[in-house]
Amino acid sequence: MKGLLLVSLALLALAGCGDSSSSQPSSNASTDRGWSSPAQLEQDAVGTKGLRVCELLPVGKVEQVVHVDGLRATPNDSLDLAQCRYADHGVNVRVLLDGASQAIRRYFDQQAEAQQKFNTIPAMKPRDVHGVGDDKTYGSAGAFWTRARHQLVAIDDKRIARVTVDVPGRKQEPLKHEAAELARDLFAAVEAQ
């Protein structure tokens, strides 16, 4: 398995290489990516602009969705990330809103990397989830669920939501549905701002 991984990585590295004439991007390549210089890479960053997940998803709402009372909310916010942890008595719900640049590309890179890395581990392989994020994006699913992590990752309006729901003794399907509901609620709350 380790040898196969090394060969796969080598092939991926070679796929990105070409002759010297192809190392310069064409004039359309930069505009296809939405930037024309390294200084413009951050141009599409929407940031979180004062959005706070703990305020967008109040404790009462999270308790209602995961059917657990007594959760405490703990924020951890920065320029491009707003996150909140709701926890008590073994229950752990984490909601992260990512507004850094190139969100759509990073979302699909995360999904593709997880597909490649964990293709042989069913519990770690990301599974498409429809009806949560922007299903019109490339790939036709605006969210994916990773069973072993109890985590849903969704893309909507240039932001990524990452929702982890861990309730001891609860089966996968309810956890996935709860994470999806919280992601939809988060996107709706951001839209309402």
Q: pLDDT at position 9, please?
A: 39
Q: What percent of the chain lies above the pLDDT cut of 70?
A: 74
Neighbouring CB atoms inside 10 A of 107's CB total 27
Mean pLDDT (whole number) for 6-11: 40
* Domain ranges across the chain: 2-40, 53-192
pLDDT in tens, 44-89: 545 556 678 888 899 999 999 999 999 999 988 887 889 999 999 8
Q: DSSP letter at 150?
A: T
Confidence label for 21 from pLDDT (cuts 50, 70 and 90): very low
Q: 3-state class of 88 per DSSP?
A: strand
- For residues 44 and 173, which has the higher predicted lDDT (pLDDT)? 173
Q: pLDDT at position 50, please?
A: 66
User: CB–CB of 164/94 below 8 Å?
Assistant: yes
| Partners of 98 in the β-ladder | 81, 160
User: What is the rounded distance in angstroms from the CA atom of residue 18 to the CA atom of residue 125?
Assistant: 31
The angle at the Cα of 129, spanning 73 to 171, to the nearest 5 degrees, equals: 60
User: CB–CB of 111/96 below 8 Å?
Assistant: no
User: CB–CB of 80/95 below 8 Å?
Assistant: no
| Partners of 74 in the β-ladder | 85
Strands 72-77 and 81-88: antiparallel
Q: What's the distance, CA 99 to chain centroid? A: 11
Mean pLDDT (whole number) for 146-167: 93
Q: pLDDT at position 6, please?
A: 40
Q: pLDDT at position 72, please?
A: 94
Q: Is the pLDDT of residue 178 over 80?
A: yes
Mean pLDDT (whole number) for 109-119: 88
